A and B are shown apart, each in its own frame.
Chain A
């Protein structure tokens, strides 16, 4: 793996991460979906499970159909029953490198705050993304996005992907 230093390329990676966070912070699930490649996958798990080599985490959308279904859950299925919150993602690029197959491997730290309907704010989760990024039709997209929470026990149920 070669670490990427090209400022132009890093700016494109940062823009993709920002578009991702921007979509989630506005509950724009179509915008979230648009950050993934046509074969993209998403996973949310805990560092605890990862450390023990255990495959089950909080969300596992391991094909594009599942990503599309998650948009439906949030927008249609769950819309009336769940108690919505506003998320705020703070991201910080950690490492970005070329993988052997020509894709980009990026690690980005995140902290996600939430504000409930009464306007009370708290930390939802801290962790990092392990992403595989590809160029699809001239735009960078996630072939795989894995959010690993250091937070083993979130303070409330998680509705939107992190």
Chain B
């Protein structure tokens, strides 16, 4: 790791429960985060297995600011590579998804197989003597399939995935069906939130139920579960028995908020740096964020069902997925609004965000209650360290 750059605005930041606004607004901090976090020792999700069901399926995704191609190269084999030609750096494909057994660069027709090996090069006879195709493949990332999700990392030092997620692994597994059930892709919601990626992560998982008019009008109380913050970077996870909604006559179609079938648990996971795996009622979603500078974050919500769902349950999941927890969802639109308001308030010089609730009982933040702020602090402790601040 490099020494912190000199022009970072934060030199004497001592307390990881009090976060200076500048960390969410400053361009130099943002550039350093790309290096140390997004390209650092983190596993980040690049595809769900359900998104690439057949051999030769591929998708593109941007991690940090780096475009990637993710391909299914065999029954259980995947390749993750940087979407940049080894010749002159051209983006190999601009499609979001497709099927291809090889990729040809549109510029000078260098041809790669779907693992990123260079196969054919027109005009090679006039290249220098020592030109060797084996040295000109697409750059590959380390990748591992875990819980039907393909995770990748830019860094050789990233710890093994079980160590990386620690105790939070159970809650992730619970959100994705416990390991036995196959996931099925239902669709995407994509949105730009006008806030820093850390504002999004600080606020999307935790906040008091006080915000949610929707739940209040339905007379719904949640949020009593224990929350675990663990793993390599203070991921947090809550896995809890969900209270069933009772129809109080407020909605004309209350099935929107009902739980069907035998799914009695809910799970909310915030995985560092910017992933969430959520199951609430019958909606299962995977949220992956891409920073667009210090004050914008693009979030892709991927909705899932189980491959063995009976038709009525599948239909119920589709309706709930489209309407409940996304950026324009009945409940979650209020969250989206708060992210942007937090960011706007951060213009004030010298201001700071304070994490307070739950620290009395859980000073290290490892175990707290679901609506506590203590769970946010292990991540910030790690952030301080990895950023060299």
Contact = CB atoms under 8 A, between A and B. Distances in A.
Interface of A: 43-46, 48-49, 52, 54-63, 65-66, 68-69, 72-73, 76-78, 80-83, 152-159
Contacts of B211: 81
Given A56-B188, A153-B298, A69 B319 contact: no
A65 B337 contact: no
B356 interface: no
A153 B318 contact: no
The SS class assigned to the B binding surface is mixed
Contacts, number: 111
A78 B333 contact: yes
B334 A59 contact: no
A78 B334 contact: yes
Given A65-B253, A81-B338, A158 B187 contact: no
B189 A58 contact: yes
25 contacts: A43-B322, A44-B328, A46-B188, A49-B188, A55-B318, A56-B321, A57-B189, A58-B189, A58-B322, A58-B326, A58-B327, A59-B323, A60-B322, A60-B323, A61-B323, A65-B251, A73-B214, A73-B333, A80-B213, A81-B337, A82-B333, A82-B334, A83-B340, A154-B191, A156-B194
Interface residues of B, number: 39
Nearest to A151: B190
B303 A66 contact: no
Contacts of B192: 153-156
A154 B188 CA distance: 13
Given A59-B328, A69-B253, 7 more contacts: A48-B190, A56-B188, A69-B251, A81-B338, A157-B191, A157-B337, A158-B328
Considering residues A62, A153, A155, which has the most beta carbons from chain B within 10 angstroms of its beta carbon? A153
A78 B190 CA distance: 20
B97 interface: yes
A82 B328 CA distance: 10
Given A54-B187, A55-B186, A56-B188, A66 B213 contact: no
B256 interface: yes
B58 interface: no
A157 B327 contact: yes
B193 interface: yes
B28 interface: no
B190 A153 contact: yes
A56 B213 contact: no
B185 interface: yes
A27 to B, nearest CB: 15
Interface in B81-138: 96-97
8 tightest A-B contacts by CB?
A56-B187, A54-B187, A60-B322, A65-B253, A65-B252, A81-B334, A157-B336, A153-B190
A156 B333 CA distance: 11
Contacts of A66: 252-253, 256, 323
Contacts of B336: 157
Nearest to B212: A81
B217 interface: yes
Interface string B243-256: 00000001111001
B357 interface: no
Contacts of B97: 52
A56 B301 CA distance: 10
Contacts of A68: 252
B330 A73 contact: yes
B253 A56 contact: no
Contacts of A76: 213, 217
Given A46-B188, A58-B328, A77 B217 contact: yes
Interface in B333-366: 333-334, 336-338, 340-341
